[in-house]
Amino acid sequence: MSRESVIGIDIGGTSVTADLVNCNGELIASLSRRTGQGEEALEAIAALVADAAEVAASWDVRLRGIGVLTPGHVEERTGVVHFASNLGWIEVPLATTLRRNPRIADVPLAVGHDVRWAGIAEGAFGAARGIRDYAVLSIGTGIAACLVVDGAVLSGASGSAGEIGHATAVPGGDFCACGRVGCLDAYASGAGLLRRYGALSGRTDLRSVADLLGLLAKDPHARTVWGEAIDALAVGLCTTIMTVDPALVSLVGGVSQAGGLLTGPLTERLTAELGWKSVPPLVVSPLRAIPGRAGAVMLGMRAGGDDRCVAAWSTEDVAAWQGARALDGAR
């Protein structure tokens, strides 16, 4: 086993994961914590980085780089998160905060946008491998997209390209955590689905989208909320498809694990929405729930100057991380 590795930190709205991966693409250790909100989230992430660095030291593993992926509007050059609604962050100096840990003071650290790098990983190891024009739609606690045109990832003038979750899907609709109304995020994200079901049914006991999907056959409220989410996704994807003309749309994130319950009705709804234009294939990533984790590790490899290692990894190498059990004691 290679003794030189990187840490990939994938910050989600519900949990944050740290993966210690060597140049051979082998997962050495995985740790996870609940993310939290605001300052609590920043403290949780800093503690997780410290934990991962401690694990590396205890196993005599030399750290080459650290890649940190965050949702929201992030300035990758400075590592500042200007706005992340799901984390309650405004102008958070993420990179500077994490570099204060003396254990990683000499380790190159880079911060990137979570879905953009999930999209890069999807192109390297997932359903978009070998495709030069594709879109990756992440549907988890929040919603965002990575848009790739002629092999180039679109970042935008201010680094916020792909924030489809905060485009209007339902004019005059529900309030969104970002402060706007009618956003796609408010209707089709994991958080939005559970909130809307609770408001409609009066139930507050559902803990996951999987719970909601389990009610579709018998609960009209669940069917209503799911159907409206599909409608909103079709509106958002229609604009994306008409604008960038992807050859493939890969779905990632927790809600994507609905599989055919998502891709079937969404393809049907998109067919009606697009009219004369054909619907590109909608596929669930073969990397399942981990493209963000893979992207974080790739960013860590780039930070450490080990990009060439990644080229030798296979889809199977990366997908194998999915079944890894978090280390005992990780919170």
pTM of the full predicted structure? 0.88
Q: What pLDDT shows up at residue 321?
A: 86
Domains, the chain, ordered by start:
4-117+288-323 (3.30.420.40), 128-284 (3.30.420.40)
pLDDT tens per residue across span 191-243: 999 999 999 999 989 989 999 999 999 999 999 999 999 999 999 999 999 99
Rounded distance, CA 305 to CA 313, Å?
Answer: 16
Distances (CA, A) of 108 to 96, 132, 253, 306: 12, 30, 28, 12
Confidence of residue 113 (pLDDT cuts 50, 70, 90): very high
Those residues whose C-beta lies under 8 Å from the C-beta of residue 165, and which sit 6 or more positions away, are 142, 143, 144, 183, 184, 185, 189, 236
The per-residue pLDDT for range 37-50, each reduced to its tens digit, is: 999 999 999 999 99
Contact 230, 169 (CB under 8 A): no
Higher pLDDT, 263 or 157: 263
Residue whose C-alpha is closest to residue 188's, from 135, 237, 228, 144: 228
What letter would DSSP give residue 306?
A: -
DSSP-derived letter for residue 119 is H
pLDDT tens sequence across 40-91:
999 999 999 999 999 999 989 999 999 999 998 899 999 999 999 889 999 9
